[in-house]
Chains A and B, each alone.
Chain A
Amino acid sequence: MEIPYTVKPRPDTGLYNGKLGIWLFLASEVMLFGALFSSYVLLRVGAEDGTWSMGLMNITVGAGNTMVLIASSMFVVLAWAELKQGNLAGYKKWKWATIACAVLFLVVKWSYEWPQKFKHYDVWLNDAKLLHEKFEKGYQETVSHAEGGNHANDHGDAANGDVQKFVETFYTKRFFKETSDASQTAFKQEWANGTLAISGHINAYEEAQINVEVTGWNADAGASEADADRALVELGVSVEEAAEDLRKKGGLIKERIDYDWAKRAEYLLGQAGFKVTLSVAGYEKVEAHPWFWRTPRVNEDIGGNPRVRSIVLGLDHTHHHDEIEIETRHISRLSAYEPKHSTFFGIYYTITGLHAAHVFGGIIVMLYNMLPIGLALWHKDRERFTNRIETFGLFWHFVDLVWIFLFPILYIL
């Protein structure tokens, strides 16, 4: 039984089913992205001065991605035109081009744009004076480089002799894009209160090395003595006798191990009925660029000492991303440029993420229509296949349309 008007359009409406269906689906997508755009506008209008970081977006990358998507939009419709002329080879050529553009778009976004942000941090200190000192150090480095070359104006008012002015320049660029009364008021207040964030990459940090000690065993905890001893043996205690000894008298199980290991040991020993104490034996410097760190990660208390004692931050807006060291006891908040960071990043990732998911879905469908499994329809019913590609093209153009609006709104405004 064949469904009518799948290929031939119905005379009074002039549409075949798929075309009408996709336009209706696009209507629902307009409402979906429309709701997110409305949320964007509301959140932005309601945001306090100095919390909306739109100046952090890389316009070049954004514009590049826009061009890629525009090209893909053109290619997909050229592929359809080839099919209308009965040219399967031409269709394949343009379709591969579309897929390549779509993949490029996602690669740029997911392996460059987003990861760059996940490794980039804002650090808020709990002491205004300390904050000014840290900025001063970065400023001094920049000035010395600026005086040594032609880079005087590369980093704002570096040559002007005023660290506050220097910081204000890039604060304004980040949150306001241009100096105004609002930007000056907001900055002055944050500078005075010390609530300004220092931004940069974490280049190294000092992480705790932890000792795991058992201080007692609770027989009523539900585990038998044999279970408890076995737990200790599994964690590296050499012989059963030593395990029994530890169970009765308590003692050091593990020395200077890393956090994850220590936490796991704590959990397993806890399950086995032990009372476990973790303490910090010392700190080890790790050179790494971590992703997605949050405040609890640096502030977590282990027996009175922090899990991370200090971080080395490569500062933004300084000439060589000069490094400063910050002790975590001075950090009130630490956040990568992840969704949690602020409502700006939240809505940015949500809306571009949903858009990227649509691009990804489109790639899957395009691949299906390129492989023998999808091409089988071309050999069975050319017109129907052409219609299918037209229908997909409409979806793809919508995806491009969303990006046409996203780019100016997120990157430019």
Chain B
Amino acid sequence: MGDSHDSPDFLQYLIRLFYMVGGVLVAGTLITVLIDVLFTFSLPMAALIGLVIALVKAGFVVAIFMHYKWDKKLIMITWTMVLTFIFFAGMMGLIMWAEGDIPRLGRAEVPTFWVVAAALLGVALPAAFTLLTIKLLSQPAPVEVAAPRAKRVAKRKKTD
């Protein structure tokens, strides 16, 4: 890859890290199983614990095995990951919300606050995203300065 990671010392350090993370993953799995065997929790609680442990394991895999800790500066990867997670969360969240928000007889009228909040969310998210994207993608031109931006001054009739 031709980057600072070529030095043998760094590679040895990486290899040690790999073994460590392997151990962490094994430990995480054992902890998950033990917690399940030894304790009983309600479903939401069990889900929270299980998913937190899974997220920690996933974090190590992404950061170390997938090299993201050193690739964080690579905007394209970070941006893609962030975008994907936003849409994944959006897909899951909005589907669950739609399934949950079904009018039922006897259900009290939904307070206006939630309606407004939902609507504002729909404005804020894309605005934030767009600003971030434009900021990320603004790069200086590595080649010479361009000619003055063309503004239409003279009306010249050109026949085709």
Contacts and interface: CB of A to CB of B under 8 A. Distances in A.
Interface stretch (B17-25, B123-131, B150-158): B17-25
A41 interface: yes
A59 B36 contact: yes
Interface in A17-49: 19-20, 23-24, 27, 30-31, 34-35, 37-38, 41-42, 45-46
Interface in B89-107: 91-92, 95-96, 99
Nearest to B77: A23
Given A34-B88, A74-B18, A412-B50, 19 more contacts: A15-B77, A20-B77, A27-B84, A30-B88, A31-B88, A31-B91, A42-B95, A70-B22, A70-B26, A81-B15, A383-B2, A387-B1, A397-B66, A401-B61, A404-B58, A407-B54, A408-B32, A408-B54, A413-B50
A412 B36 contact: yes
A351 interface: no
B107 to A, nearest CB: 18
B8 interface: yes
A85 B95 CA distance: 48
Which 8 A-B residue pairings sit nearest by Cβ, starting from the closest? A408-B50, A74-B22, A34-B88, A27-B84, A38-B92, A70-B25, A178-B40, A412-B36
13 contacts: A35-B91, A63-B30, A63-B33, A74-B18, A77-B65, A81-B11, A84-B5, A400-B61, A405-B54, A408-B50, A412-B33, A412-B50, A413-B50
Interface in B53-71: 53-54, 57-58, 61-62, 65-67, 71
A150 B6 CA distance: 62
B15 A78 contact: yes
B104 to A, nearest CB: 15
A16 B2 CA distance: 11
Contacts of B83: 27
Contacts of A70: 22, 25-26, 29
A383 to B, nearest CB: 7
A97 interface: no
B61 A24 contact: no
B121 interface: no
Interface of A: 8-9, 12-16, 19-20, 23-24, 27, 30-31, 34-35, 37-38, 41-42, 45-46, 59, 63, 66-67, 70-71, 73-74, 77-78, 81, 84-85, 177-178, 383, 386-387, 390, 393-394, 397-398, 400-401, 404-405, 407-409, 412-413
Contacts of A400: 61, 65
Interface of A is mostly: helix
Nearest to A396: B65
B117 interface: no
Contacts of A34: 88, 91-92
A34 B93 CA distance: 11
Interface of B: 1-3, 5-6, 8, 11, 14-15, 18-19, 21-22, 25-26, 29-30, 32-33, 36-37, 40, 43, 46-47, 50-51, 53-54, 57-58, 61-62, 65-67, 71, 73-77, 80-81, 83-85, 87-88, 91-92, 95-96, 99, 139, 142
B92 A81 contact: no
A184 B33 CA distance: 26
Nearest to B56: A404
Contacts of A38: 91-92, 95-96
A387 B3 CA distance: 12
B92 A37 contact: yes
A59 B33 contact: yes
A23 B80 contact: yes
A14, A31, A390, A409 — most chain B CB neighbours (10 Å):
A14
B52 to A, nearest CB: 10
A8 B2 contact: yes
B99 A42 contact: yes
A19 to B, nearest CB: 8
A405 B58 contact: yes
Nearest to A28: B84
B66 A66 contact: no
B65 A73 contact: yes
Contact of A31 (B36, B87, B99): B87
Nearest to A66: B29
A9 B3 contact: yes
A16 B66 contact: no
A165 to B, nearest CB: 19
Given A63-B33, A405-B58, A408-B51, A15 B74 contact: yes
